[in-house]
């Protein structure tokens, strides 16, 4: 309140947002309350337009005012008005919340897809494996006895080429030739493209 020239008491002009922000920078809680009263509706309105969800908008608005309280000393009046500084901060916070929410949804979707149990038909799989096994057995009968021995030892027995050579008492080069020829014949019999 101020006293005019006639001696009447006139209400003082409300402090500007810039003045209030300068006082908030020095820890003035009453200035913070006034600043809140002046700009909170605009901040909440901006945040709510971006986030839509009222509860999240209130939460983000609270975070913005906490940030204003903590960082008011960083406000530079030469770079723009207090309203612009505060509303820019509000916009950034709201956009950060949107991005964070989207990242969370994307992460949940990826985890959900990864953990999705794919329907598995055990009977069909067993039948398919059995039929494939019968085809391979039939194709193996079309190999020469020497090729069949080499392929059986190497692929069913799990022996290395040199171990197959030792088992069959033949040179390593001969084992490799029998395996190559046997696999080519199997490929042709099974109709597998190379």
Residues 74, 22: Cα–Cα separation, whole Å: 10
Q: Are 167 and 153 in contact (CB under 8 A)?
A: yes
Q: Are 39 and 86 in contact (CB under 8 A)?
A: yes
Residues across the chain:
194
Token pair in block for residue 153: 């030892």
Give the C-alpha distances (Å, rounded to integers) separating 24 from 15, 30, 40, 87: 12, 8, 15, 17
| Residue 10 φ/ψ, nearest 5 degrees | -115, 145
| Residue 3 φ/ψ, nearest 5 degrees | -105, 125
Based on the number of CB atoms within 10 Å of its own CB, is 57 exposed (0-12), middle (13-18) or buried (19 or more)?
A: buried
Residues 19, 186: Cα–Cα separation, whole Å: 88
Q: pLDDT truncated to tens, each residue of the chain (194 aa)?
A: 555 555 556 566 788 999 999 999 999 999 999 999 999 999 999 999 999 899 999 999 999 999 999 999 999 888 889 999 999 999 999 999 999 888 888 888 888 887 777 677 788 888 888 888 888 888 889 889 999 999 999 988 889 999 999 989 999 999 999 999 989 998 888 887 66
């Amino acid at each position: 309140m101020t006293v005019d020239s006639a001696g009447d008491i006139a209400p003082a002009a409300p402090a500007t947002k810039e003045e209030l922000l300068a006082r908030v920078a020095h820890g003035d809680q009453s200035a913070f309350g006034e600043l809140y009263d002046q700009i909170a509706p605009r901040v909440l309105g901006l945040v709510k337009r971006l986030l839509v969800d009222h509860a999240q908008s209130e939460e983000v608005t609270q975070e913005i005012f906490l940030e204003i309280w903590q960082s008011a000393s960083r406000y530079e009046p030469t770079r723009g008005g207090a309203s612009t500084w505060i509303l820019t901060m509000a916009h950034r916070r709201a956009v950060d919340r949107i991005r964070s929410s989207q990242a969370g949804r994307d992460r949940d979707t990826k985890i959900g897809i990864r953990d999705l149990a794919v329907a598995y038909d055990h009977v069909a799989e067993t039948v398919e494996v059995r039929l494939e096994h019968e085809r391979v057995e039939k194709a193996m009968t079309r190999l020469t006895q020497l090729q069949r021995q080499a392929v059986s030892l190497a692929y069913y027995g799990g022996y290395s080429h040199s171990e197959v050579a030792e088992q069959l008492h033949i040179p390593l080069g001969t084992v490799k030739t029998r395996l190559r020829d046997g696999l080519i014949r199997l490929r042709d019999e099974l109709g597998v493209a190379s």
